[in-house]
Amino acid sequence: MNVDLGFRQIADRYRREYDLPLSLVDAEGDVLEGPPCCGEPAAEVRCREARERAVRETLRWGEPYLHLCCGNCIIWAVPVMENAALVGGIVAGGVPIEDCSREKWGAARIGAAANRLLQVVVEANLTNAALLELRRLDAERESRRAEAIHELKSKCYDSIRDIYLREEPGLLAAVKRGDRPHAREILNRVLVGIYYLGRDRPSLLKSFLLELVVMMSRTAVEAGAEPSELLGANYSSLVELDSISDETDLSAWLVSMLERIMDSIKEQRAYPNTVLLTAALQHMEQHLSERISRDDAAAAASMSGSHFSRLMKEKFGRSFTDLLTQMRIDRSRELLRRTDRSIVQICQECGFSDQSYFTKVFQRYTGQTPREYRLRVRTSFR
């Protein structure tokens, strides 16, 4: 790795863009090339420590770390690496703290400048971009974990079961519609809760992880995944679960299972829309006597209202309202044929607001009033 040549090119480019000097430092923060961060000779030891910390904290968190050196200047750095080994860093700054309230160096510009330094160092292949991204993701997960624990404490759940029952509908809906980011977000909350309340009971932890996998797999099959493929993948993974005891490994195992389940849905993407629409139609069928909105039916299919309407048009060539009315008329025709219930009763059982409106809609769809229809069908069977 030709660090010196790469550094000079980066330094020239960065000075043109931000009018800031860069320094090349070793792993202990000593300047190898370029100016010191604040130019205070008497404070060089403390500045060296500040430069070293800026480099190491950026490596730790996976993104530029802003640090205040002893001269009250803000600095930031990117580690210089050979594979996974830290060999030094490139430090930018410093921006006097009093300049941060002025137009040229607000918080947004400093953040943009720090991120730009990371970008140009990555482009010059002077750092391990993959390792930094892993560290950034780890830090992000830990941050979400801390937030979830704080939220968990505030809600005072009594048991793992309480957490599971609260989060399960949202998780299964996300799995069904193939929404990985939302599923991962919910799964993270569930995991935090399970670990927090069941940290001293490993067998209980595993039983709930298994229950989650079974539920997600069942939902994936409903969304079009191939059952035999899921069964094979799950069997080998369940054998693996038996040997895991570490919390981090358990978390990684469950996340990998989620990814496999999501992949199984993605591979069978021709099926889910039909399956999801079927779930919506079943919901409509079961609640014909009630007030049903488009969003109610869409929620049963784990879709947004607009997406549900679009699929209804594509699949059936009809709007939600038209199809719901047709289903209600079909149900009323069946009741008129097969039962002796009054027209008022049938009207109510099929979700119509009053008998006169029911008669009007029935006639529009069938060309007859409910009474005429009943008389005709019964006469024809004599």
**203 vs 368, residue with greater confidence:** 368
What pLDDT, on a 0 to 100 scale, did the predictor assign at position 83? 87
What pLDDT, on a 0 to 100 scale, did the predictor assign at position 324? 92
Between CA 220 and CA 338 the distance in angstroms is 38
The model's confidence at residue 156, banded by pLDDT at 50, 70 and 90, is: very low
Say if CB 64 and CB 32 are below 8 A apart. Answer: no
Q: What is the mean pLDDT of residues 322-331?
A: 92
| DSSP code at position 179 | -
Q: What is the mean pLDDT of residues 77-83?
A: 91
Q: What is the mean pLDDT of residues 122-150?
A: 78
Instruction: Count each helix (H run) and each strand (E run) in the chain, helices first.
Output: 16, 5
Mean pLDDT for all residues in the chain: 78
Q: What is the mean pLDDT of residues 327-334?
A: 91
Class of domain 273-380: mainly alpha
What pLDDT, on a 0 to 100 scale, did the predictor assign at position 346? 93
pLDDT above 90 coverage of the chain, percent: 18
pLDDT 10s digits, 231-277: 665 556 666 777 777 667 777 777 777 777 777 765 554 445 666 77
- Phi, psi (deg, nearest 5) at residue 76: -150, 160
The model's confidence at residue 224, banded by pLDDT at 50, 70 and 90, is: low
What pLDDT, on a 0 to 100 scale, did the predictor assign at position 370? 93
Q: Is the pLDDT of residue 343 over 80?
A: yes
What pLDDT, on a 0 to 100 scale, did the predictor assign at position 186? 76
**154 vs 278, residue with greater confidence:** 278
The model's confidence at residue 157, banded by pLDDT at 50, 70 and 90, is: very low
For residue 80, give the nearest of 25, 8, 20 by alpha carbon: 25
Q: Output Rg (C-alpha) for the chain, integer angstroms.
A: 32
Q: Is the pLDDT of residue 359 over 90?
A: yes
Domain residue extents for the chain: 3-131, 157-267, 273-380
Between CA 333 and CA 177 the distance in angstroms is 35
Classify residue 111 as left (phi > 0), alpha (psi -120 to 50) or beta. Answer: alpha
pLDDT 10s digits, 37-67: 655 565 678 888 888 988 998 998 888 888 8
Sequence letter at residue 261: I
Between CA 351 and CA 327 the distance in angstroms is 10
Q: What is the mean pLDDT of residues 308-330?
A: 88
Q: Which residue has the tokens 């008022």?
A: 344
The model's confidence at residue 151, banded by pLDDT at 50, 70 and 90, is: low
Q: Is the pLDDT of residue 147 over 50?
A: yes
| DSSP code at position 14 | H
Say if CB 69 and CB 94 are below 8 A apart. Answer: yes
CATH architecture observed for domain 3-131 = 2-Layer Sandwich (3.30)
For 173-203, b where at least 16 C-beta lie within 10 A, e where not — what string? Answer: bbbbbbeeeebbebbbbbbbbbbbbbeeeee
What's the pTM value of the predicted model, to 2 decimals? 0.43
**257 vs 350, residue with greater confidence:** 350
Distance, C-alpha 166 to centroid of its chain: 17
Q: Is the pLDDT of residue 292 over 60?
A: yes
